[in-house]
Amino acid sequence: MKIEKRTRGRNHSYYDLDTGSRIDGVTTINGNGLPKPALINWAGDATAEYAVDNWDELSKLAPSERLKKIKGGRYEKRDAAAAKGSTIHKLAERLIAGERVTIPDGLEGYVRSAVRFLDEFTVRAVHVEAVVYSESRRHVGTLDLIADVLLPDMPEFDHIRRDDDGFSRGLFDWKTGRSGIFGDVALQLAPYRWSEYLVLPGGEVIDMPEVDFCAGIHLRADGYDCRPLECGEDTYRDFLYVKEVARIVDGLRDLVGESIVPPTASQYVLTVAGSEGPDGMEP
């Protein structure tokens, strides 16, 4: 199995070059197979907020155009947040590589928070933005960061292995949304952690390196949180259940066949009450 990642704008897809088939990414699998009731409330709130924030401009439009703008308002907010998150990811990647970056207006606080994390945990990057995949389980994704870090010398971290220099190897994911780190992030990192292979920048494929723990890094304009995540084999098994649900949802359309056409024309004749039948008699 040889994986190729194809990027188009902000989106990307994965393909198995041996078969030419597309392989669903971990994010897509979780999106299709994991219920997210909070999104229902978010959609309603975001639509209402857009209408209130743009009331004057909307009032100048024809009703049909106004409705169209309001219905699409939540997507404008979602796309803006996604673009911001993508930019912060790219800046963090360049910072890890030791590059100097020009920070876009409004993102200064997020970049400072990323730098604080890198400094305060003495981050030593091992793999950055690496494609990982499982050939046997057929899933693929791009992890943000595998790095060696110094953890606090506190009892709650005693179970995490440390090397002779005191460093622990972590699998990290940057998050920039307002809501912070939720449990579904563990269902994203677990299949990364338990993948079989990792693709190096030059295309060489190696065995997936072991990590000692997983964590989500919530970057904010005023700081950051590094939240450990349970990404053991039990969580990975849960992801595989989600993957099966996503497969079922994707195949629901195939469970409905074409309309059944009757084998013969109808032998019944419908008439209106009170009208004469074919023999001159009322039915």
pLDDT at position 75:
79
Q: Please, are residues 87 and 94 in contact by the beta-carbon 8 Å criterion?
A: no
The token pair at 134 is 């499982």
Q: How far apart are CA 226 and CA 173, in angstroms?
A: 10
More confident residue, 268 or 196: 196
The token pair at 135 is 């050939």
3-class DSSP state of 225: strand
CB atoms within 10 A of CB 182: 15
Q: Please, are residues 54 and 69 in contact by the beta-carbon 8 Å criterion?
A: yes
pLDDT per residue as tens digits for the range 34-53: 988 777 887 888 888 889 99
pLDDT at 283 over 70: no
pLDDT at 275 over 90: no
The token pair at 204 is 């060489």
Percentage, residues of the chain above pLDDT 70: 95
Measured CA distances, 83 to 75, 94, 96, 105, 154 (Å): 12, 17, 20, 14, 37
pLDDT at 280 over 70: no
Local structure of residue 220 (DSSP, 8 states): E
> What average pLDDT does range 131-144 have in this prediction?
96
Q: How far apart are CA 246 and CA 33, in angstroms?
A: 4
pLDDT at position 35:
87
Residue in 237, 125, 218 with CA at minimum distance from that of residue 175: 218
Cite the DSSP H helix spans in 4-62.
Answer: 26-33, 38-53, 55-59
pLDDT at position 128:
96
Q: How far apart are CA 188 and CA 214, in angstroms?
A: 11
Q: Please, are residues 141 and 25 in contact by the beta-carbon 8 Å criterion?
A: yes
Mean pLDDT of the chain: 90
Q: Place 277 in a pLDDT band, splitting at 50, 70 and 90.
A: low
pLDDT per residue as tens digits for the range 53-91: 999 988 898 989 988 888 888 878 777 777 888 889 889
pLDDT at position 188:
97
Q: How far apart are CA 207 and CA 201, in angstroms?
A: 14
Parallel, antiparallel or unpaired: strands 124-134 and 223-229: unpaired
pLDDT per residue as tens digits for the range 225-235: 999 999 999 99
Percentage, residues of the chain above pLDDT 90: 60
Q: Which range among 41-50, 116-125, 190-199 shows the weakest confidence by mean pLDDT?
A: 41-50
pLDDT at position 274:
65
pLDDT at position 120:
97
Q: How far apart are CA 96 and CA 119, in angstroms?
A: 10
pLDDT at 207 over 60: yes
Write the burial class of residue 85 (CB in 10 Å: 0-12 exposed, 13-18 middle, 19+ buried): middle
pLDDT per residue as tens digits for the range 101-113: 889 898 999 999 9
